[in-house]
Amino acid sequence: MAAMYEALLKHKLCRDGASDTTEALVTQICLSEINRNNTMGLKISLLILIHIHQKPTNAGVIRSWRHVEVEVFHQSITSEIHSRTTPAQRLAPIATPNANARQMQRTRDFCRTIVQGIQAQMLRLEIRNEKLFFVETLPDTTTWVLNVPSVTLSSIIEHECIKESTILRLFICKAVARAVWQLYGSGWWESYCTIDNFRFVWASSGKDALPELRVDKPFFYNDMDEAGEDDGKPGLSHKAPMILALGIILLEVELGIRIENERVKSALSMTGDVDPNTDLLVAKGLCEDDARWRERKDVRPIIMNCITGNTFKSSNTPEEIRQTLFRDVVEPLEGLLVEKEKLGDHSVEGYSIPDACTAFGSFKVAENPQSTSPKISNTTVEFISTRIPDMKQNPNSETVSEEPWKGSCVGTQDLPSIPLNEVNAGDNSVRSPNLSPIESSDGTVHHEQEQAKYDGTFFATSPTETSLKEPGFFETLRETWNTRLEPMIDDKPIKIAVLDTGIDMQGTQFDSPMHDDFRERRAIRFQNGIPVSDEKGMPQYSRIKNMQNFCGGDAADVQDLDGHGTAVAGIILRLAPETELFIARICVGDVAYGVTEDKVSPVDKDQVLNPRPSVIKQAIEWAIEQEVNIINMSLGFTTEHDEVKGALELACANNILVFAAMSNGTNYKPAAWPANELTLCIGIHSCTTGGHRSSEFTPQRAEKNPNFSVVGEQIPVHWPTSKGGGFRLAQGTSFATPVAVAMGALVLTFINQERCEENMESVSQDVNPKNLFKPWGMASVFTKISDTIDIHYSKIQPELLWLKYKGRGGKSSRKHAWSIIENALNPSKLFEDQVDQTRQHR
């Protein structure tokens, strides 16, 4: 299969061919097993779209389908295949990658053979050493109707006939799963596919027989992308994206729904595209909905396994994944089908289910009223449905197209592009950085090389009040503050700058008990889903000392229209009680995120929608002017940017700690910049609420980096007033980062305490405590108070400097904490730790 894909890709039909043809290879592929002379093989049926340039007329481009059949056998029977051909049909190669004139003539001849065929020609192709061979043979007993559009699987899953037939659904699921198993790792199935990629073709068993929709033979649609293999949806929190795609398709077939109809508007990214992880969480939710599976319990665990990927976690190579796919998906589906047939359910093997024209009811086959003979070529097919986007045009319609190979006759709609971006919270939806040109206030268009991307989003649906509960990690961190730190009124507060989408400062009073206004005291816990405020604390807004807008418009306008910045700032306010915040609004973000269109706030055309390196540079310089101690950057780039790097180096020189999100690229993507560069900042990964393993969406470990991790899942965050207020649950390294910022702020708050003056003087004889304001210094302390998870990540413990201390508070508690700091900052101790780590690895 892989060899055939590569050969067809190299020898796209009609490439460099005759002047009367143009390259066009849009295929549909159908697979079935065959047995010849006791040798198992694979028969691949390809429907190939051919385009023929006509003389200058109004006809434009004529599209026509031709049927090609490929039989792939073991090399041992090659001689047998040769013997079945006549001398005139002897195997001839169709051009090698370095084709000479003679070979190219063969290519042209091959193209003409297909193009000039009056009936659907059956061709047997063979692949040998990446060369393509062909032999013309006779048609088989099934005649595919080639002058009518194919029908997508998505067009029929909601039909009552399928919804009411357990065995029909099961048969389609088995056929699709088996095709995926056969295609996996071969090039054909290397893009994230949807239910629209599976199609059915009409067939006739004889001259007088009416066409039937062969639902027992699903065709897989592929446009032979020259871009090569794709690893699926970038940013997707699933080890095997193609298995997830299969799981979603099976889910849609079994439940008779479209996954896109289960999404809400808040699941869209800034560009309006679908966030990669949205469908993953929506699918998980559907699988856990017991009401939908009352009569489908037997197939539920099979589908759930594809969606969660549980049994695929130990499968690393494509071949291992294929074996697991066959064992845990294909075989169980086939077993269920056999069970149903034994129980007397109608068998569907080998033909349409049963005769498609009667079984489906909504399929209507009508003769052309102007035709005197019921020839198939004059047959039109009408599918009575509100969802039939790919039947707008017949394959032989005469319509001019600038890019005809896009397949306007089979699937006229383009599949939605899947952007690279970041993961959401509960539904893990991913937000795109939106790389489209941005118009500035002077009317010029700036084509940024790359824009920073946020790494987290929110739950697509509002959670119930009782679902709001903070991770135990937060409770422990808050207990550390209450029992180990001893702040006094005269203590110097730690200043934190948040570079994000601004902050929501609109609300004053709201009826909803869910609302936690920044004008109120901070929430210290959630009881029955309702935030409980700190009665002794001060209003949160009083801790916000300065705000600046860098994205156009009024410099004082920092109102958050997205929600991302509000969420980040709220986490810091809740977890680091004595800190002061400085809000830098570096972009507008996604105004439409999480709201209906009629409630979308207007955005000035001059405002920056997404972060730009130049804007981030200005915001960092502003934070330096404000003399902050920490900068939170829940964003990142895939490559380094000089202007941002220069600003970060300046911050470092001014003893300002910078924390940045590692991004949500999953283990298949590297960490983002600047989070992956310890000399500039401390990068933060995300771990699960229990802290026992890293989050599925957290990226690969960064080289020469401690790869710190904190809880970044199921975090209650503030939701902007303009979008309903209250709290939402969120996840992503964007939200793990402010958690780590709060922890770093608590460490700095501790050393700044008036009670610690004596301890600081004592320790200063050997180390410089001010090095805690540098990335390497804080990283050294974090290393001392971290545990290793998943081998590559270091989870910072919420007990902070008192991780292994069980004594009382007061002097002994402070002494223990300062011993941790001294050991961390002592160069000789650092060398000893490195030696110990090296020995452990050996």
- For the segment 455-470, the average pLDDT, to the nearest whole number, is 45
User: Which CATH number is 488's domain given?
Assistant: 3.40.50.200
Please indicate, yes or no, if residue 443 is contained in any of the structural domains.
Answer: no
Are 517 and 595 within one domain?
A: yes
Q: Which of 199-203, 261-265, 295-299, 356-360 has the highest mean pLDDT?
A: 295-299
Q: Which of 91-100, 128-137, 527-536, 761-770 has the highest mean pLDDT?
A: 761-770
For residue 553, the tally of other CB atoms under 10 A from its CB is 15
**pLDDT surpassing 50 at residue 583:** yes
Are 135 and 156 within one domain?
A: no
**pLDDT surpassing 70 at residue 211:** no
Are 643 and 498 within one domain?
A: yes
Residue 500 among the catalytic residues? yes
* Among 155, 734, 794, 813, the one annotated catalytic: 734
Can you tell me the distance from the alpha carbon of 712 to that of 736, in angstroms, rounded to the nearest whole number?
4
Output the pLDDT for position 139. 44
- For the segment 81-90, the average pLDDT, to the nearest whole number, is 33
Are 511 and 592 within one domain?
A: yes
Please indicate, yes or no, if residue 378 is contained in any of the structural domains.
Answer: no
Output the pLDDT for position 718. 84
Of 226, 69, 46, 250, nearest to 150 by C-alpha is 46
Please indicate, yes or no, if residue 366 is contained in any of the structural domains.
Answer: no
Can you tell me the distance from the alpha carbon of 618 to that of 642, in angstroms, rounded to the nearest whole number?
13
CA 659 to chain centroid, in Å, comes to: 25
Are 507 and 608 within one domain?
A: yes
Which domain does 7 fall in, by range? Answer: 2-140
Q: Which of 14-23, 105-114, 289-298, 341-350 has the highest mean pLDDT?
A: 289-298
Output the pLDDT for position 604. 58
Are 90 and 239 within one domain?
A: no
Band of residue 572 on the pLDDT scale cut at 50, 70, 90 = very high
Are 186 and 81 within one domain?
A: no
Are 568 and 675 within one domain?
A: yes
Please indicate, yes or no, if residue 643 is contained in any of the structural domains.
Answer: yes
Output the pLDDT for position 686. 93
- For the segment 285-300, the average pLDDT, to the nearest whole number, is 83
- Residue 86 buriedness (CB in 10 A; 0-12 / 13-18 / 19+): exposed
- For the segment 745-758, the average pLDDT, to the nearest whole number, is 92
Residue 345 among the catalytic residues? no
Please indicate, yes or no, if residue 439 is contained in any of the structural domains.
Answer: no
Q: Which residue has the higher pLDDT, 719 or 223?
A: 719
**pLDDT surpassing 70 at residue 35:** no
Q: How many domains does the chain have?
A: 3
Torsion of CA 435, 441, 443, 444, to 10 degrees: -50
Output the pLDDT for position 314. 81
Q: Which residue has the higher pLDDT, 660 or 666?
A: 660
Please indicate, yes or no, if residue 596 is contained in any of the structural domains.
Answer: yes
Output the pLDDT for position 655. 94
Of 315, 309, 279, nearest to 185 by C-alpha is 315
Share of the chain above pLDDT 90, in %: 20
**pLDDT surpassing 50 at residue 382:** no
Residue 734 among the catalytic residues? yes
- For the segment 758-769, the average pLDDT, to the nearest whole number, is 88
Output the pLDDT for position 605. 52
Report in angstroms the alpha-carbon separations of 199 from 151, 157, 334, 359, 523.
5, 12, 21, 18, 53
Q: What is the pTM of this model?
A: 0.48
Can you tell me the distance from the alpha carbon of 494 to that of 201, in angstroms, rounded to the nearest whole number?
67
Lowest mean pLDDT among 77-81, 308-312, 455-459: 77-81
Please indicate, yes or no, if residue 370 is contained in any of the structural domains.
Answer: no
pLDDT digits (tens, 9 = 90+) for 601-656: 555 555 656 778 999 999 999 999 999 999 999 998 888 999 999 999 999 999 99
Output the pLDDT for position 710. 95
Output the pLDDT for position 153. 85
Mean predicted lDDT score pLDDT of the chain: 67
DSSP state, 776? H
Torsion of CA 593, 597, 601, 607, to 10 degrees: 70
Output the pLDDT for position 40. 63
**pLDDT surpassing 90 at residue 742:** yes
DSSP string, 601-655: PP--TTS-SS--HHHHHHHHHHHHHTT-SEEEE-EEBSS--HHHHHHHHHHHHTT
Please indicate, yes or no, if residue 371 is contained in any of the structural domains.
Answer: no
User: Which CATH number is 259's domain given?
Assistant: 1.10.510
Q: Which of 305-314, 422-431, 599-608, 628-637 has the highest mean pLDDT?
A: 628-637
* Among 196, 279, 500, 560, the one annotated catalytic: 500
Are 64 and 89 within one domain?
A: yes
Which of 360, 395, 412 finishes a domain? Answer: 360
Structure tokens at 478: 């808050």
Output the pLDDT for position 589. 80
Q: Bridge-partner residues for 343, per DSSP?
A: none
Which of 337, 360, 383 finishes a domain? Answer: 360
Output the pLDDT for position 196. 81
Can you tell me the distance from the alpha carbon of 242 to that of 240, in angstroms, rounded to the nearest whole number?
6
**pLDDT surpassing 60 at residue 698:** yes
- For the segment 171-191, the average pLDDT, to the nearest whole number, is 78
Output the pLDDT for position 721. 79
Band of residue 166 on the pLDDT scale cut at 50, 70, 90 = confident
Of 212, 211, 185, 188, nearest to 198 by C-alpha is 188
**pLDDT surpassing 80 at residue 93:** no
Output the pLDDT for position 354. 35
Vertex 588 angle, CA 697 and 678, to 5°:
45
Are 800 and 673 within one domain?
A: yes
Can you tell me the distance from the alpha carbon of 778 to that of 684, in angstroms, rounded to the nearest whole number?
13
Output the pLDDT for position 84. 30
Are 41 and 162 within one domain?
A: no
* Among 515, 564, 641, 685, the one annotated catalytic: 564
Can you tell me the distance from the alpha carbon of 811 to that of 724, in angstroms, rounded to the nearest whole number?
47
Region of 707 (left: φ > 0; alpha: ψ -120 to 50; beta: rest) is left
Share of the chain above pLDDT 70, in %: 53
Output the pLDDT for position 827. 61
Which of 140, 168, 201 finishes a domain? Answer: 140
Are 86 and 186 within one domain?
A: no
With H, G, I as helix, E, B as strand and everything else as coil, classify residue 585: strand
Q: In what helix (H) or strand (E) does residue 766 lie, and over which residues does it extend?
A: none
